[in-house]
Structure formats: C-alpha cells, structure tokens
C-alpha cells in the first residue's frame, strides 16, 4: 500500500481512508479519493459484445458511465439486485467507472501498519486486483486496485472510441 | 503597471483574441477604402473605424509593454489621422502602404505574443512610412497659409527634398496645388467655421495635431461616429457548454418525472382511488400539472438555446477571404471581384473552424486557375474583372457552400493530358467528363504548368476533398469549359447532433443515423428467401441481404414468425436490410462517445441520452455491415450476381 502512487495526507499520517462495501460475505475497500459518489441502482443499458463483466452504461446527470459488475468480474455467482445494491462511482485518472456492489458499509480509517500484502489466495479472486488486506478489529478488508479492475487481459483494447467512424455517408 | 500585479498570460490571451478581431476589421476597412481610390475622396466612416481599431491595438499593446506593436500602431494611426483630415489624398500608394503596415502589425503581434524577436522589415517599413507621411505633413503647414509658418515649412521641405526621390517631390507639388485649389474653392463655398477636433470613442485622440483649424477642409462630421455593428460577445470554453447541456438533460428527465407524478395523481382522482374527501388534493394536483407543463416549456427552451450557442455564423471564416482574393489576384496580375453572400448562415463552431482551410484552397484555385487574365477575358467578350462568388445557405439539416467563378472552367483535355503524363490513366481509358473531373482529386495532381507560390503544388484538391469528407460533407464540382467552375460543399450543421431513426430490438432502443438509411419496410416472411442459408429479400429487382441485429449483438429475443421489419441501409453502393423488432420514429440525437473503458465495439459508434433519460446505443452502420460480411453472417448474394 505504501508504495502506491498518489498517497494522500492521511497516508503520510499513517492512516488511509477507504470506502468499504460487501460482496457476499467478504468486505472490500477502495481509496476514498477514488470514489466520486455512491448511488442507488438505476437502469443499466446493456452494451452488446462488450467484455462479459461490462454490465452496460448508465446516465449519470447526462454523463455516460460504464458499469462493471464486480461479482462477474471476480467470477462470483451473480445475484438479483436487492434494496441495498449500490453503484460506487469511481474516478480513476480521467476515467469514470461505476461498480455494482451488494451493499456499501461505511468509510473506515485504516492505520497503515494494519495493512498487509495480499495473501496468495483469497476466495478465488485473482490477486492482481488486490493491493493488500487491512485488519480492523476482527474484520478483514480486501483493498482493491481499481486500475486493475477496469483494465485486464480480458479487455486489452483501450483504444479511444472513434465517434468519427459513425455512419458512413451514403451519397 | 508591474507584471507581478496581474496575471499577464490571461491578459496576453485576451490581447491576442482582441488583436485578431481588430486586424480582421482593419483588413475589411482597408478593402473598402481601396474601392474608393478611384473616387479620390475618403469616407470618414471608414477612416474613423480604421483609426479606432488602430488606436485600440496601440492602447492594449502599450499596456502589455509590446512597444514594437504600439509604435507601429501609432504611426499607422497618424497616417489615418492625416487621411481623415484630408491632408493626404487617398491614393493606391497610400492604401498599399496601409496594407503592408497591417501585415507587419500582424507579424509584430504574433512575435510579441510568442516572445520571439521582431520580424524582419520593421525598420525598412518604418522608414518608408515616415517618408511617405513626411511629404504630406509639410502640406498641412502650407495650407495654413500663414506666411511665417509656411515659409518655415517650406524651408524644412526643401531640406527634405534632398532625401526624397524626384517623383515623390513632383507628386508632392501636384498635391499641394490640388489641395490649395480645393481649399480655396471650399472656402468660397462655405464660410470658415470653427472646427472641433473629431471626438472618437472610446478614448480621446492623443495623436499630434499639427494644424488645428484646417479651415473647412475637414470633411468629417464632428459628431460621434456610429459604433460599428460590433456584437457584444464573450468567449466560452466549449466544455463548459457541454456540462451545461448535460445538466439541462438532467433537468429534462426530472421534469418528465414530475409530469408523470401529476398525471398519476390526476388519474387516481378520476378513478376515485384517492380519498377525495380532502378538498385540497384536486386543486393541488391541477397546480402541479400546470407547473410541470411550464417547467417543460422552459427546459426545452433552455436546451435549444444551449444547442444554438454552439452555432456561429460562417461569416467568421468568410471575413478573411476578400483580402486573400485581392492579394492572390494582385500577385497574378488578374482583376477579380469577390461577391460574398449568406455570411450569417449558422453552423457548429467545430465545423466553422475546420472549413476555412478547404475554402481558402478553393478560392486560390479559382483566382489562379479559373479566372483568366484581363486581356484574355476581353477577347472572350467577358468583363475585365472576373467574378468569384462565395455563397452559403441552409438546406434542410445541411449547409451548402458554393464557390463559383466565371473563368475558364476546367480544361478537360489538359486534365486528360496531365493524367496520361502522370500515369493516372492510360490511353485506352474511355473516361467521361465526370470521371475526368474526378481526376483532379487525385493526390499530386496539378494542371499548372509552372509551380507558383499560390497553387500548383498539387496539394490542393485532394486535400480539399479529404477535409470535406472528414467533416461528413459531400464535395462536388461542376464546370463549363470556358464558362466557369462551381464547387459545391454540403456539410452537416453540426457533428454533435444527428438525425436518427430509433428502432427497438429485443427491448433495447437503438439509433440508426438517418444519413445511412434508404428506407424502412415491413416484409412478410414468405417473401424472405435464403441464399446459402442466409436470408435475403428482393427489392425492386435487387437482391438485398438481411442482417438480424438481435443475432449480431447476441441479444436473443423472439422472432416474429409472420413478418420482418427491415431498415434498408446503403453503404458505398450496396444495400443491406437490418432486421429490427419495430420502428420508433425519427429523432435528433446528441452523440456521446462510449467510455474507452468499454472498448471498441463493432457495430456501435456511441450512445445518446433520450428525452426521458434512457440511453440508446448508436449503430455504426459501416462497421456493423463490414463485420457481418467478414464473419459470414450476411449473404454475399449481390456480389456473386445472384
């Protein structure tokens, strides 16, 4: 965690702030600086032939935000949306991405000394998505590397979509 | 003013924008002035406008410490002042020196902003200008007529004589005589009246005024000049407009929700499902509905206004062409009149920015290749001066820009010969006129015998065509041998908004850009045949392969066993029928790119947000069809000539 770029003031003070959320029985966390807002589940427009974990796009105040289903991303069983299902809208660099989670818990202050390197194996998810594991009392919080979550081998093509390619003119 | 006290870069950016506008204005006024040379009297309005523009340049450059710019602007301003006071006759020489000064001023402004050294030619030009003005400044004293001053002035002028070329002196003497006579004549006509210095807004004239009362020779009315039709404008980052548009979109969605709530309430009251014993509910519901309707109207208007803000008149581009045409014509020894119309035709800012270059090429071509030299034109029974017209107008959702000249027309034989020489065509090729004209769009093609600095480098027409195509425009040429050429450019009004046909496929809405759609049809299932297992229909004797969008996008859904709804799209001469579930009507949509996190999806070019807030993906007909062909989803029937 300590070597991560963009560490903020809290980090230097020995504490990191994370937004924690749940997928199944596990608790995950992302750096609060990367979270723009948390919204209720809205209608997601399916994008055909997109990578499998790409749930679709939503309209967030006129902006199109791509939505990733974290359960699919991590190879977990899909479940139907519940009242507590949320979309965590994150901003990674200039990219905005929404991730669907089972529920959002709270904002946690994690002392850095409580964060450990990712263990070899956690409940089936690839370690490449994990920055570390934080311990808080009895809780284990899996800290996600969002950059890896949105870019992976499954989606190597990061070409900017060319709107110019729109509609060949018929003359 | 100390540099540290204000954000200099911001001021410089304002200065650059302002100077650009003013230089453009100076150009326009100079062109008007040039037209008056033959009439040999100036129009005070024009000269005043020139003076004001130069004065503003002087002021702002002085504030930023650009002393070169300030100095030159000051000198040019002086010249205008003399011109305004009729101390200097309006002559071609005078206009030329003003034009040259304006160009140098442009260079100086650029150099000052970029922080590079002063451009070459400043000392030379300054000397030229000083000399030119010096001659006439003496005249001013002479006209005064007071013996002492006149003598003194004469003495000075005599000392000047040694440095001034002979012909200039002659010109000077002739002018003195003319002005003296004119002054005398006017004095007899009008009794001398006190002349107040011309008051020029916004600032007083600091220019030296060697002779206050030129006894009635000042033709300029002393009233404050009309403020030229200068629009009040501010510059806004286009991103800010987009943000605004997004927010309005959100407003529209909420407006729809409020209307829905009002409707639901009204229905419940009508159905007596609500406890209407409370007498308040009905009027409240009515008020809510009225309010929602008003909100709807206002938000629609805001949305439209913001769209319109992106539109600017094409005149912004046209304004620089009169000067260009004048310069090229002069350089080539031709006489050309440029007639501009439709300058107030609006189109999207991004397109306006892009269309200037191609138009400039076309106009240069017209002057260089189109218009004949005056002698030849006379032989052919045409007016000496060639006429180039530049015209813009709206037609439906497009803007049409026409550039036409009454010159030579495209010499097809020359084109053919050149094509042969450059190996573009062979002797056996039987090309019709149209195909020959198409040749001029080949990269590297030029009919110019010699390479001039104007055109003839063979980078012209193919670049023009490429640029227009990139803007989703259509470029067309029409030429009459010996009678002139007309170039027609058709462009969409905006790249951000397109007309689209909305269709429903497996419960999702898709938008198909209308410019690819030929027609939409309902076809009964028995009329759908198969060729090698792929579905086709026969449309007016032509076999059209079908592409089921639901299959292509792997959407699933039920197939209608009785009929298919088909959108026929055209693609470079071939047609494909896209099978959809239903047609949902035409609509103007705002194109938004999908996030690059989603990646490039074959068949999808972006998305749009509809009025009710839902998202519709935009179908990229080109990539959809070519992907379908390459993956063998579509019959190649029409290729194999079935």
Structural domain spans, chain A: 9-152
pLDDT in tens, B402-457: 999 998 888 888 888 888 887 778 877 777 787 888 888 877 776 555 444 444 44
Q: Does B617 touch chain A (CB under 8 A)?
A: yes
pLDDT in tens, B320-376: 899 889 988 988 889 999 999 999 888 888 788 888 888 988 898 888 888 988 999
| Minimum-distance CB partner of B601 among A47, A68, A97 | A47
Give whole-number Cα distances, A24 to A76, A85, A107, in Å.
9, 11, 19
Q: What is the DSSP string of B360-397?
A: HHHHHHIIIIISPPHHHHHHTT--SSEEEEEEEEEETT
Lowest mean pLDDT among A54-58, A66-70, B67-71, B630-634: B630-634
Q: Is the pLDDT reported for residue B249 higher than 80?
A: no
For B5, list phi and psi in degrees, rounded to 5: -80, -20
Q: Which of residues 235-274 of B touch A (CB under 8 A)?
A: 245-250, 253
B641 against B312, higher pLDDT: B312
Cβ–Cβ below 8 Å for B598 and A66: yes
pLDDT category of residue B45 using cuts at 50, 70 and 90: confident
**pLDDT score, position A122:** 54
Say if residue B202 is preceded by a cis peptide, omega within 30 of 0.
Answer: yes
Give yes or no for a contact between B402 and B389, defined as CB atoms under 8 angstroms apart: yes
pLDDT category of residue B24 using cuts at 50, 70 and 90: confident
Q: Which residues contact B53 (CB under 8 A, 6 or more apart)?
A: B22, B25, B26, B29
Q: Nearest C-alpha of chain B: how many angstroms from A14?
A: 33
**pLDDT score, position A3:** 45
Give whole-number Cα distances, B67 to B61, B63, B455, in Å.
7, 9, 37
Return the C-alpha torsion angle B462, B468, B474, B480, nearest 10.
-50
Q: Is the pLDDT reported for residue B609 higher than 90?
A: no
Q: Is B55 a catalytic residue?
A: yes
Q: Is the pLDDT reported for residue B120 higher than 70?
A: yes
Distance CA B474, CA B470 (A): 10
pLDDT category of residue B202 using cuts at 50, 70 and 90: very low
**pLDDT score, position B4:** 46
Give whole-number Cα distances, B513 to A161, B246, B498, B610, in Å.
17, 21, 7, 15
Q: Is the pLDDT reported for residue B617 higher than 80?
A: yes
pLDDT category of residue B68 using cuts at 50, 70 and 90: confident
Cβ–Cβ below 8 Å for A66 and B606: no
**pLDDT score, position B591:** 81
Mean pLDDT of B249-278: 77
ipTM for the complex shown: 0.76
**pLDDT score, position A88:** 95
**pLDDT score, position B224:** 41
Mean pLDDT of A94-117: 89
Cβ–Cβ below 8 Å for A45 and B598: no
Q: Does A83 touch chain B (CB under 8 A)?
A: no
Mean of all residue pLDDT scores within chain B: 77
| Minimum-distance CB partner of A66 among B498, B597, B603 | B597
Cβ–Cβ below 8 Å for A167 and B515: yes
Q: Is the pLDDT reported for residue A7 higher than 60?
A: no
Active-site hit among B29, B55, B361, B372: B55
CATH topology of domain A9-152: OB fold (Dihydrolipoamide Acetyltransferase, E2P) (2.40.50)
pLDDT in tens, B80-112: 888 887 777 888 888 888 888 888 888 888 888
Q: Shortest CA distance to B324 belongs to which of B338, B305, B334?
A: B338
Mean pLDDT of B265-283: 76
**pLDDT score, position B225:** 41
Q: Shortest CA distance to B25 belongs to which of B452, B257, B231, B319?
A: B319
Q: Which residues contact B353 (CB under 8 A, 6 or more apart)?
A: none
State the DSSP code for A6.
Answer: T
Q: Shortest CA distance to A141 belongs to which of A167, A165, A122?
A: A122
Q: Does A161 touch chain B (CB under 8 A)?
A: yes
**Which of chain A's residues have a Cβ under 8 Å away from the Cβ of B246?**
61-63
């Amino acid at each position: 965690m300590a070597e991560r770029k963009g560490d903020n003031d809290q980090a230097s003070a020995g504490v990191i702030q994370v937004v924690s959320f749940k997928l199944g029985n596990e608790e995950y966390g992302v750096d609060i600086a990367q979270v723009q807002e948390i919204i209720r589940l809205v209608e997601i427009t399916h994008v055909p032939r997109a990578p499998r974990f790409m749930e679709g796009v939503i309209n967030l105040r006129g902006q199109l935000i791509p939505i990733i289903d974290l359960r699919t991303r991590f190879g977990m069983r899909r479940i139907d949306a519940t009242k507590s299902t949320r979309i965590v809208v994150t901003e990674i660099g200039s990219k905005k991405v929404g991730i669907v989670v089972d529920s959002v818990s709270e904002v946690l202050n994690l002392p850095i000394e409580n964060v450990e390197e990712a263990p070899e194996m956690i409940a089936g998810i690839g370690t490449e998505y994990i920055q570390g594991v934080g311990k808080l009392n009895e809780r284990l919080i899996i800290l996600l590397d969002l950059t890896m979550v949105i870019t992976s081998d499954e989606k190597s093509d990061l070409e900017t979509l060319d709107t110019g390619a729109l509609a060949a003119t018929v003359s | 003013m100390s540099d540290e006290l204000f954000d200099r870069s911001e001021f410089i950016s304002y200065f650059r924008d302002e100077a650009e506008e003013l230089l453009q204005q100076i150009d326009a006024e100079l062109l008007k002035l040039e037209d008056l040379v033959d009439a040999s009297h100036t129009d005070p309005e024009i000269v005043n406008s020139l003076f004001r523009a130069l004065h503003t340049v002087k002021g702002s450059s002085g504030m930023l410490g650009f002393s070169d710019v300030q100095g030159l602007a000051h000198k040019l301003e002086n010249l205008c002042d003399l011109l305004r006071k009729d101390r200097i006759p309006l002559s071609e020489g005078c206009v030329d020196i003003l034009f040259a000064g304006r160009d140098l001023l442009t260079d100086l402004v650029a150099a000052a902003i970029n922080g590079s050294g002063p451009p070459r030619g400043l000392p030379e030009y300054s000397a030229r200008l000083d000399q030119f003005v010096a001659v006439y400044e003496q005249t001013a004293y002479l006209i005064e007529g007071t013996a002492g001053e006149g003598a003194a002035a004469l003495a000075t002028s005599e000392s000047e004589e040694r440095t001034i070329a002979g012909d200039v002196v002659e010109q000077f003497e002739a002018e003195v005589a003319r002005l003296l006579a004119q002054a005398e004549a006017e004095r007899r006509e009008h009794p001398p009246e006190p002349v107040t210095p011309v008051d020029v807004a916004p600032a007083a004239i600091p220019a030296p005024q060697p002779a206050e009362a030129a006894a009635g020779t000042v033709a300029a009315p002393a009233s404050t000049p009309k403020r030229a039709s200068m629009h009040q404008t501010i510059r806004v980052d286009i991103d800010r407009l987009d943000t605004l548009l997004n927010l309005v979109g959100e407003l529209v969605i909420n407006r729809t929700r409020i209307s829905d709530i009002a409707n639901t309430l009204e229905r419940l009251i009508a159905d007596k499902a609500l406890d209407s014993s409370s007498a308040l509910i009905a009027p409240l519901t009515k008020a809510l509905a009225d309010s929602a309707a008003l909100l709807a109207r206002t938000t629609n208007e805001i949305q439209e206004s913001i769209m319109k803000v992106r539109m600017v008149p094409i005149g912004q581009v046209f304004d620089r062409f009169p000067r260009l045409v004048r310069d090229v014509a002069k350089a080539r020894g031709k006489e050309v009149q440029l007639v501009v119309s439709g300058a107030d035709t609006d189109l999207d800012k991004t397109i306006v920015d892009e269309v200037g270059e191609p138009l400039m090429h076309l106009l240069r071509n017209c002057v260089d290749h189109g218009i004949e030299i005056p002698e030849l034109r006379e032989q052919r029974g045409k007016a000496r001066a060639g006429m180039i017209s530049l015209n813009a107008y709206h037609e439906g959702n497009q803007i049409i820009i026409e550039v036409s000249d009454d010159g030579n027309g495209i010499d097809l034989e020359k084109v053919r010969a050149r094509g042969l020489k450059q190996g573009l065509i062979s002797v056996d090729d039987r090309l019709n006129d149209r195909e020959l004209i198409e040749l001029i769009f080949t990269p590297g093609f030029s009919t110019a015998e010699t390479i001039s600095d104007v055109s003839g480098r063979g980078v012209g027409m193919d670049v023009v065509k490429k640029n227009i195509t990139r803007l989703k425009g259509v470029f067309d040429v029409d030429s009459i041998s010996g009678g002139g050429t007309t170039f027609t450019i058709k462009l969409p009004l905006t790249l951000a908004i397109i007309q689209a046909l909305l269709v429903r496929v497996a419960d999702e809405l898709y938008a198909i850009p209308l410019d690819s759609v030929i027609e939409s049809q309902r076809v009964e299932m028995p009329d759908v045949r198969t060729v090698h297992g792929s579905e086709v229909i026969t449309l007016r004797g032509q076999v059209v392969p079908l592409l089921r969008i639901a299959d292509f996008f792997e959407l699933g859904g039920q197939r209608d066993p009785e009929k298919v709804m088909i959108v026929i799209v055209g693609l470079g001469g071939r047609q494909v029928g896209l099978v959809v579930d239903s047609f949902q009507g035409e609509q103007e949509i705002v194109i938004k790119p999908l996030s690059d996190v989603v990646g490039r999806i074959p068949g999808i070019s972006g998305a749009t947000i509809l009025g009710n807030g839902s998202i519709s993906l935009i179908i990229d007909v080109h990539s959809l069809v070519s992907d379908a062909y390459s993956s063998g989803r579509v019959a190649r029937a029409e290729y194999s000539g079935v």
